[in-house]
Amino acid sequence: MKKAILILCVLGLFACQDDNALKLVEVDLLKYGVPITVKAPESAKISQPSGEGEVWIVDTASYFKIQVVKTSTSSLDVAAVKAEELELAKSLGGFSKLISEEKDGFIYEENYDTVSYDFKHIVISGNNKYVFQKLLTEIPTKEQVETMYKAVKN
């Protein structure tokens, strides 16, 4: 009986440590030049490593590492801009397949010697487009990418 209780406790401990246990809070990016609120881990740090055109949301305690790139756009049609971003992702050589697609973003698989996943979520505000994606140096799982994608979509 004691053995069964111990096994249940250990299994319960592992079940609580999944990616869904990541506590996300709302983060307003306006003071970084991005007029958008997203969700991020409580302990995430926000920085602008290369100036006003880029924002990083990084939680060193987890896999949550997102880059936001701001550029000008001539189109106010988010679906058209998303289509351009999808074509760009496909043209980079490592694109394997599309996992999911929505009007303003997509998740895809890449294969540069190892399978990895990435996403793009596009927001248009004024004459600017904001493209959210994982930090390029990271190799998160499909589930982790899905969590990050949902967090920036709100």
Q: Domains of the chain: which residue ranges?
A: 22-153
Looking at 35-154, list the stretches that DSSP marks H as alpha helix, in order from N- to C-terminal side: 78-91, 142-153
CATH topology of domain 22-153: Protein Transport Mog1p; Chain A (3.40.1000)
**What does pTM read for this prediction?**
0.83
* Bridge partner residues of 133 (DSSP): 67
Q: What is the pLDDT of residues 83-111, one digit of tens each?
A: 999 999 999 888 999 999 999 999 999 99
Question: What's the CA gap between 61 and 58, in Å, rounded?
Answer: 9
DSSP class of 18? S
Q: What is the pLDDT of residues 50-90, one digit of tens each?
A: 878 899 999 999 999 999 999 999 899 999 999 999 999 99
* Bridge partner residues of 26 (DSSP): 39
Classify 26 as helix, strand or coil.
strand
